[in-house]
Amino acid sequence: MRAIVLADCHAQPWLLENALSHSHYDKNTDRLIFAGDFLDVGIEPDKCFDILTDNKAEMLWGNHEVSILLKKPVVPQSLVSWEYQAMFEKLVRDPEQPWKLATAHEGVLITHAGVSQVYWRALSGYEEMGADYVAHHFNKRFELILDVPEVALDFWADDSPLWFRPGLLMPLQGIVQVAGHTPAEQLPKDKDYYSVDPYSRHNFNRDRYRYAIIEDGNVQVYDSNDVE
């Protein structure tokens, strides 16, 4: 099964439509993962949400969704985003809710902003490694975000899976990661870390797409700016 990973459409539905079309996504045979931030910036979050729902996307929390959940404003933010607050709170309270903070596919870890080596060490050490273990660990902890203040503070920190930007801090070593949040042109080169954030200073027109396909344990990123 292929996994197609998208992120950071930010209420701009063409970013989803372009990627789904270019990847020839088939909801009957492929796994679709959206790694957070479907709202804010643009003006059509509902259309983005409908596209993701109609295509059976697995939804991961991004910092913009969690800002609404925790009532912590971020910039930029659209007023319409606050209309999702009740839905987000219900999702967290529901033990059967499908939204997650992290997931894995064929040994590849997927979160909104990636996992830093410092954050992981401070939280739980290196007892075990592996993408499935890390994802499970974060998802169980995230269930407490509305009830345990220190959990909310941990996930709202700059080095957390909602906010981490590789640079001064290193990504978690030994695990291949796919994340959004940070445009690829702002990232240091790291063979085990892939960004699917579609923002680009080079071209961000209506034909823009950026996404990753995970298949047979390998990650391949497709970017409209790389097409001649």
The whole-number average pLDDT for the span 6-24 is: 98
The whole-number average pLDDT for the span 75-94 is: 94
Give yes or no for a contact between 75 and 115, defined as CB atoms under 8 angstroms apart: no
| Lookup: tokens for 204 | 């961000």
* pLDDT tens digits along 146-180: 999 999 999 999 999 999 999 878 999 889 999 99
Residue 44's domain comprises: 3-226
Q: What is the rounded distance in angstroms from the CA atom of residue 109 to the CA atom of residue 32?
A: 14
pTM as predicted: 0.96
Alpha helices in the chain (DSSP H): 14-23, 45-54, 63-69, 85-93, 117-124, 131-142, 149-155
Q: Has residue 228 got a pLDDT over 60? A: no
* pLDDT tens digits along 108-124: 999 999 999 989 888 87
Q: Considering its fold, how many domains does the chain have in total? A: 1
Helix axis angle, 131-142 to 117-124, nearest 10°: 70
Residue 127 is predicted with a pLDDT of: 61
Report the CATH number at residue 179.
Answer: 3.60.21.10
